[in-house]
Amino acid sequence: MKEKVVLTLSLCKQYQIGDLAVEALKNLDLEVEKGEFVSIHGPSGAGKTTLLNLIGGLDKPTSGKVVVFGHDLGTYDEDFLATFRCAYVGFVFQSYNLISTLTAIENVAFVVELAGWLRERIEERSENLLKLVGLEHRANHFPAQLSGGEQQRVAFARALANDPPLILADEPTGNLDVETGLEIVRILEKMKAERKTVIVATHDGRILELANRTLRLLDGRIMNK
Amino acid sequence: MSEIAFPIKDLTRRKFQTGLTILGLTICMSATLFLVIFGSNLGFEIAFLSLGGRLTSGFFNIFSRFILVVGLLNILAGAFITSFLVYLTMSERVRDIGVMKAAGCLSGSILGYFITELSILIFLSCIAGTIFGIGAYYLSINLLNVLGFSVSQVLSLWAVVLIFLVLILVSHIFGALPIIKAAKVKPAEALSPLYSLGTTFELGRAVPSKLGFTLKVAYRNLVRRKSATRQAIICLAVVLTLTTVTIAGGMIANQTTTNYVERAIGRDIVLVGHPNLTERYVNVLSQFFEDKEMESIDYLDPRYNISESLVSELSNISGVLKADPRLVLETTVYEVQGVIIDPEEPNQYILVGDDRFGEALVVGVQPERVVNEWLIFGRVLNETDVYSAVIGDSLALEMFSDPQKQAISVSEENFEIAGVCLDTLNNGKVVYIPLKALSTELGQPGYNLLFLKINSSESSQVLAEIEKELSGKNLKVVELNEILGKHVNFLNHIWSFVMFLPLFSLATATLCLLSYLMLSIAGQQREFGIMRALGAKPRSIMKIIFTQALLITLISGAIGISVGLFVTFVFLIPEPVISQNTILSVAGWLLLTLGILCLSSLYPAMKTVKKSVVSAIYSV
């Protein structure tokens, strides 16, 4: 039996917006095995981002459990979750979320530095990752000086920096044109080939095709287990 | 949407940012207003002491110059901080401006919307700041009065109006700058989530890789937000200049003025004379701190004479270090005009001064025997002087235009003014002239008062010896140390009163840094959220924020403290006296100030990390 990397049990997440309570996830049960490439799709507001945030330990469930690599994330404090994210999860956001005051290479190195790598290895690792996404020539450019596709490639390099076993990507091609999106699809292909566990929220047909399993999320529930 | 409806809706829907800006501006406005009106009230109180016949003009000048410089720095600091907070707030709106431009809004309309918004923010803050500033003023005055000081509650309305107008004007000018700048940014740039007004795209000097992770991130954050960092440093440097001037200036000025008094009266000085005359002399000396009515007295009454033989007998007592016999009298003195070369017409001469006159204490001294060491502007009298004089500071300021180019007439004889001394005797209305000349003019040789400098370690024995020597003679011995103590207490009382300013300046500096950090961190909220999403612990974010505050505080501290010390030594205090204790106290206070400033960053840092990662990342 394969190792279960992600396990959610009756997962609920509710947001309070003024007087209105919005249920983003409703009793959601999900299992993801090691090396699986899972894509999640569904209309806007279906709860895709919320699910990824909960799996990544960025947010805590209102009720239910989210267990990732054996850790019940709802029970841990912020310090543990930060260490957990650094070691286990690589995040890719739809809006890139690069740090504007850091150059491309510094954005990648930031994560490696956080993990406490040796000084000499940080530079080498960051350069290699930029090379992997084909951006070694843009290493010293700031995010605002890069195109959308380039920024997303830096974001992927950053997500891979600590060699995390789980990659979470939220609409990675959502802000990109078809051509640029293809570069991202290729990076995801590489990840799949490396047997990384990948969970992607996407509407992009090319990424959906890559997936071992595709889940449809609607109103906070998985419709096609 | 109308030019009023949009800004009002925009402000009310961005409650946190609007609240933070109004809070920051209100704190700044109220602190500036409070410091200026409180300072001017202190100035008036001290002026009142001077007008009431106490405090010499020289000492009054030191106090009033101190309060004036502090007041000016207050206004400057207030203007800088207000403008900076407005700049920071408006820099955050670049993206909104970009959206409006992209939607087809004309630049003129955008300017109209945001300038209206700016005006609403400024007016609300200035009105709230004025109310809080005046409230704090009355609260402090009442507190001081409860503590035993006597301060009037008069509020100088002109100062309130002036500060209100200055801050409104400056805020508008500096607030409009980023709006105009932002209005010029291309819509595409403005809409980019990564574009930020004032962020530089230069790599700058490489961060040494040996620096720790926190220091590296903090350093990059500061260096690459160049204009915001530069403005923050300028603002804090001005505030720290103000704090240094008030803390260091206040302490050094306190010690220096105390030293001036000690030099003027002399330490371990014993006064010998007829009881009527010693009592009179003590009263004349006490005028520095208490206004006493005194009847006229004939100083030249033969009963008051002290013989030469007595002077030599007393000076031979073991433990008497110096004997300084004097002839003292109160009389009318006259200003004598001086003649100088016209600086514009070298062949012409012009007259300096007028023909003013007034009552003064005239003291005939033998320059080589004088026991006092006044602070003198000009030169002291020397043995060869015959018709030269040194006059007191109040006399110089009230009766002369350019004393050292003029002369003074005593008993119809003119004496060239060699110098002006800072003296508390007769409240600075005093003239020192050579004894020989005074005796000749008055036709009365001899002395009527004798000053003995004694060895402090054997003072009781020496005093007993002197008393023994004087037994049977109608002469009294008065120790001047007691009256010197009263002088020092009086000065300490005024300084303790004035030193409330540094406390309030420190509070202002802390509040300003806090406002800056709150706004600055609010601007970096999203990036801190991203860092946390990538695995940075809340403690690491706090460390980064603290390090940023530390770097800014240290740089602005180095600038502000240097400028503050320069202002103190060059403009505030002539011939400052600084003991090792003062240096240690000043350094201690300044370190405490910097420490409080840095620690104050922990509050916004804590607020930041308490926010959930998701809300931080998606904060706009």
Helix (H, G, I), strand (E, B) or coil at B566: helix
Q: What is the mean pLDDT of chain B?
A: 82
Taking 60 as the threshold, does the pLDDT of residue B195 lie above it? no
Using an 8 Å CB-CB cutoff, list chain B residues near A95.
Answer: 193
Residues B30 and B32: their CA atoms lie apart, in Å, by: 6
Residues of chain B with a CB closer than 8 angstroms to some CB in chain A: 192-196, 199, 201, 203, 209-210, 213, 216-217, 220-221, 224-225, 526-527, 530-540, 609, 612-614, 617
- Is the CB of residue B388 less than 8 Å from the CB of residue B415? yes
Task: Output the pLDDT for position A14.
Answer: 92
Tell whether B207 is covered by a domain.
Answer: no
B529 and B496 in a common domain: yes
Task: Output the pLDDT for position A62.
Answer: 94
Lowest mean pLDDT: which of A183-192, B51-60, B95-104, B524-533?
A: B51-60
| Shortest alpha-carbon distance between residue B216 and chain A (Å) | 10
Task: Output the pLDDT for position A31.
Answer: 94
Average pLDDT (B436-458) is 88
Q: Helix B602-610 crosses helix B500-533 at what angle (to 10 degrees)?
A: 30
Cβ of B220 within 8 Å of Cβ of A59? The answer is: no
Helix (H, G, I), strand (E, B) or coil at B163: helix
Half-sphere exposure of B107 (CA within 13 A, CB side): 9
Per-residue pLDDT tens digits for B451-462: 999 998 888 899
Phi and psi dihedrals of A118, rounded to 5? Answer: -70, 145
Cβ of A101 within 8 Å of Cβ of B538? The answer is: no
Task: Output the pLDDT for position B432.
Answer: 95
Confidence (pTM): 0.71
Task: Output the pLDDT for position A117.
Answer: 83
Cβ of B221 within 8 Å of Cβ of A85? The answer is: no
CB-based burial label for B21 (10 Å; 0-12, 13-18, 19+): buried
Q: Which of A35, A49, A8, A30 is nearest to A212 (CA)?
A: A35
Report the amino acid identity of residue B419: G
Using an 8 Å CB-CB cutoff, list chain A residues near B201.
Answer: 142, 144-145
> What dihedral do alpha carbons B608, B613, B614, B617 form, nearest 10°?
70
Taking 60 as the threshold, does the pLDDT of residue B193 lie above it? no
Q: Which of B456, B571, B453, B493 is nearest to B288 (CA)?
A: B493
Residues B610 and B175: their CA atoms lie apart, in Å, by: 31
Task: Output the pLDDT for position B326.
Answer: 93
Q: Which of B121, B35, B18 is nearest to B511 (CA)?
A: B35
Question: Under the phi-then-psi rule, with left for phi > 0, alpha for psi from -120 to 50, and beta for the rest, what region is A35?
Answer: left
SS (H, E, C) A159-203: HHCCCCCEEEEECCCCCCCHHHHHHHHHHHHHHHHCCCEEEEECC
Output DSSP code: residue A11.
E
B185, B211, B534, best to mutate vs chain A, most A CBs in 10 Å: B534
Residues of the domain holding B220: 213-264+492-620
Cβ of A115 within 8 Å of Cβ of B535? The answer is: yes
Task: Output the pLDDT for position B196.
Answer: 56
> What dihedral do alpha carbons B527, B533, B539, B544 form, nearest 10°?
-20
Taking 80 as the threshold, does the pLDDT of residue B505 lie above it? no
Q: Which of B437, B403, B399, B435 is nearest to B420 (CA)?
A: B403
Which residues 9-68 of chain A have a CB within 8 Å of chain B?
53, 56, 58-59
Instruction: Give, in degrees to the nearest 5, the angle at Cα B9 between B101 and B117.
Output: 65
Q: Which of B311, B450, B304 is nearest to B371 (CA)?
A: B450
Residues A6 and A179: their CA atoms lie apart, in Å, by: 32
| Residue B312 tokens, joined | 């030599």
Per-residue pLDDT tens digits for B334-366: 999 988 888 788 788 888 888 899 999 999 999
Task: Output the pLDDT for position B555.
Answer: 92
Tell whether B484 is covered by a domain.
Answer: no
Total Cβ atoms within 10 A of residue B287: 21
Greater model confidence, A17 or B203: A17
Task: Output the pLDDT for position A70.
Answer: 93
Cβ of A82 within 8 Å of Cβ of B614? The answer is: no
Q: Which of B322, B409, B314 is nearest to B365 (CA)?
A: B322
B602 and B560 in a common domain: yes
Taking 70 as the threshold, does the pLDDT of residue A101 lie above it? yes
Residues B28 and B170: their CA atoms lie apart, in Å, by: 13
CB-based burial label for B97 (10 Å; 0-12, 13-18, 19+): buried
Q: Which of A95, A97, A140 shows the shortest C-beta gap to B203?
A: A140
Cβ of B213 within 8 Å of Cβ of A59? The answer is: no
- Is the CB of residue B534 less than 8 Å from the CB of residue A114? yes
Q: What DSSP letter does each residue of A43-106 carry, written as one string?
A: -TTSSHHHHHHHHTTSS--SEEEEEETTEEGGGS-HHHHHHHHHHHEEEE-TT----TTS-HHH
Q: Which of B542, B520, B549 is nearest to B609 (CA)?
A: B542
Task: Output the pLDDT for position B44.
Answer: 62
Q: What DSSP letter does each residue of B100-159 carry, written as one string?
A: HHHTT--HHHHHHHHHHHHHHHHHHHHHHHHHHHHHHHHHHHHHHHHTT--------HHH
Task: Output the pLDDT for position A35.
Answer: 92
B528 and B438 in a common domain: no
Question: Tokens 């090319």 appear where?
Answer: A206
Q: Which of A56, A83, A101 shows the shortest C-beta gap to B199?
A: A101
Residues B362 and B230: their CA atoms lie apart, in Å, by: 58
For A114, which residue in chain B has the nearest alpha carbon? B536
| Residue B92 tokens, joined | 């955050």
Question: Under the phi-then-psi rule, with left for phi > 0, alpha for psi from -120 to 50, and beta for the rest, what region is B578?
Answer: beta
Per-residue pLDDT tens digits for A44-67: 889 999 999 999 999 999 999 999
> Alpha-carbon Rg of chain A, whole angstroms?
17
Lowest mean pLDDT: which of A20-29, B89-98, B203-212?
A: B203-212
Lowest mean pLDDT: which of A160-164, A192-196, B347-351, B559-563?
A: B347-351
CB-based burial label for A199 (10 Å; 0-12, 13-18, 19+): buried
Lowest mean pLDDT: which of B136-150, B203-217, B551-565?
A: B203-217
Per-residue pLDDT tens digits for A68-81: 999 999 999 988 99
Task: Output the pLDDT for position B133.
Answer: 86
Confidence of residue B10 (pLDDT cuts 50, 70, 90): confident
Taking 60 as the threshold, does the pLDDT of residue B207 lie above it? no
Task: Output the pLDDT for position A34.
Answer: 93
B256 and B121 in a common domain: no
Task: Output the pLDDT for position B127.
Answer: 92
Q: Which of B196, B199, B537 shows the shortest C-beta gap to A82?
A: B537
Using an 8 Å CB-CB cutoff, list chain A residues near B195.
Answer: 144
Residues B432 and B436: their CA atoms lie apart, in Å, by: 12
Helix (H, G, I), strand (E, B) or coil at B336: strand
Average pLDDT (B535-544) is 90
Cβ of B201 within 8 Å of Cβ of A110? The answer is: no
Task: Output the pLDDT for position B452.
Answer: 93
- Is the CB of residue B321 less than 8 Å from the CB of residue B453? yes
Per-residue pLDDT tens digits for B42-68: 666 665 565 555 666 777 777 777 777
Most confident of A12-26, B152-166, B503-517: A12-26
Taking 80 as the threshold, does the pLDDT of residue B539 lie above it? yes
| Shortest alpha-carbon distance between residue A86 and chain B (Å) | 4
Fold of A35-61+75-222: Rossmann fold (3.40.50)
Taking 60 as the threshold, does the pLDDT of residue A225 lie above it? no
Per-residue pLDDT tens digits for B24-45: 778 778 877 887 787 777 666 6
| Residue A124 tokens, joined | 């080498």
Greater model confidence, A80 or B444: A80
Output DSSP code: residue B571.
I
Lowest mean pLDDT: which of B27-36, B48-57, B121-130, B527-536?
A: B48-57
**Polymer length of chain B:** 620
Taking 90 as the threshold, does the pLDDT of residue B418 lie above it? yes
Q: Which of A58, A87, A110 shows the shortest C-beta gap to B613?
A: A58
Report the amino acid identity of residue B328: V
| Shortest alpha-carbon distance between residue B528 and chain A (Å) | 9
B120 and B135 in a common domain: yes
Q: Helix A104-114 crosses helix A119-132 at what angle (to 10 degrees)?
A: 130
Tell whether B205 is covered by a domain.
Answer: no
Using an 8 Å CB-CB cutoff, list chain B residues near A143.
Answer: 194
Helix (H, G, I), strand (E, B) or coil at B72: helix
- Is the CB of residue B148 less than 8 Å from the CB of residue B493? no
Average pLDDT (B289-299) is 81
Task: Output the pLDDT for position B39.
Answer: 73
B285 and B183 in a common domain: no
Using an 8 Å CB-CB cutoff, list chain B residues near A120.
Answer: none
Which residues lie below 8 Å from residue B176, measured CB to CB, with a gap of 6+?
A: B115, B118
Tell whether B35 is covered by a domain.
Answer: yes
Q: Which of B210, B527, B535 shows the shortest C-beta gap to A111?
A: B535
- β-partners of residue B332 are B359
Per-residue pLDDT tens digits for B569-613: 887 776 777 888 888 988 898 888 888 888 888 888 888 888 888
- Is the CB of residue B567 less than 8 Å from the CB of residue B234? no
Greater model confidence, B10 or A190: A190
B279 and B256 in a common domain: no
| Shortest alpha-carbon distance between residue B24 and chain A (Å) | 25
| Residue B150 tokens, joined | 């006597």
| Shortest alpha-carbon distance between residue A30 and chain B (Å) | 22
Q: Which of A113, A114, A142 shows the shortest C-beta gap to B201?
A: A142
- Is the CB of residue A6 less than 8 Å from the CB of residue A199? yes
- β-partners of residue A15 are A22
Phi and psi dihedrals of B96, rounded to 5? Answer: -60, -40
Output DSSP code: residue A145.
G
Q: Where are the beta strands (DSSP E) in B161-275?
A: 269-273
Average pLDDT (B296-309) is 88
B280 and B369 in a common domain: yes
Instruction: Give, in degrees to the nearest 5, the angle at Cα B183 between B77 and A141.
Output: 90
Task: Output the pLDDT for position B292.
Answer: 74
For B613, which residue in chain A has the nearest alpha carbon? A58
Q: Which of A93, A101, A162 shows the shortest C-beta gap to B221?
A: A101
Cβ of B533 within 8 Å of Cβ of A59? The answer is: no
| Shortest alpha-carbon distance between residue B195 and chain A (Å) | 6
Per-residue pLDDT tens digits for B547-556: 988 998 899 9
Most confident of B65-74, B126-135, B226-235: B126-135
Task: Output the pLDDT for position B478.
Answer: 93
Task: Output the pLDDT for position A99.
Answer: 86
The domain ranges of chain A are: 35-61+75-222
B399 and B364 in a common domain: yes
Taking 70 as the threshold, does the pLDDT of residue B160 lie above it? yes
Task: Output the pLDDT for position A88.
Answer: 93
B532 and B425 in a common domain: no
| Shortest alpha-carbon distance between residue A124 and chain B (Å) | 13
Q: What percent of chain B has pLDDT above 70?
A: 87
| Shortest alpha-carbon distance between residue B564 and chain A (Å) | 33
Tell whether B204 is covered by a domain.
Answer: no
Distance of CA B261 to the CA centre of its chain: 20
Phi and psi dihedrals of B219, rounded to 5? Answer: -60, -45
- Is the CB of residue B597 less than 8 Å from the CB of residue B516? no
Task: Output the pLDDT for position B517.
Answer: 73
Task: Output the pLDDT for position A5.
Answer: 92
B271 and B258 in a common domain: no
Greater model confidence, B157 or A25: A25
Task: Output the pLDDT for position B257.
Answer: 84
- Is the CB of residue A168 less than 8 Å from the CB of residue A90? yes
Report the amino acid identity of residue B326: R
Query: What's the helix, strand, coil split of chain A in %, to 5?
Result: 40, 30, 35
Task: Output the pLDDT for position B3.
Answer: 62
Average pLDDT (B264-276) is 91
How many domains does chain B contain in total?
A: 3
Cβ of B534 within 8 Å of Cβ of A142? The answer is: no
Confidence of residue B202 (pLDDT cuts 50, 70, 90): low
Q: Is A147 on the interface with B (CB under 8 A)?
A: no
B618 and B511 in a common domain: yes
Confidence of residue B198 (pLDDT cuts 50, 70, 90): low
Residues A152 and B373: their CA atoms lie apart, in Å, by: 78
| Shortest alpha-carbon distance between residue A224 and chain B (Å) | 28
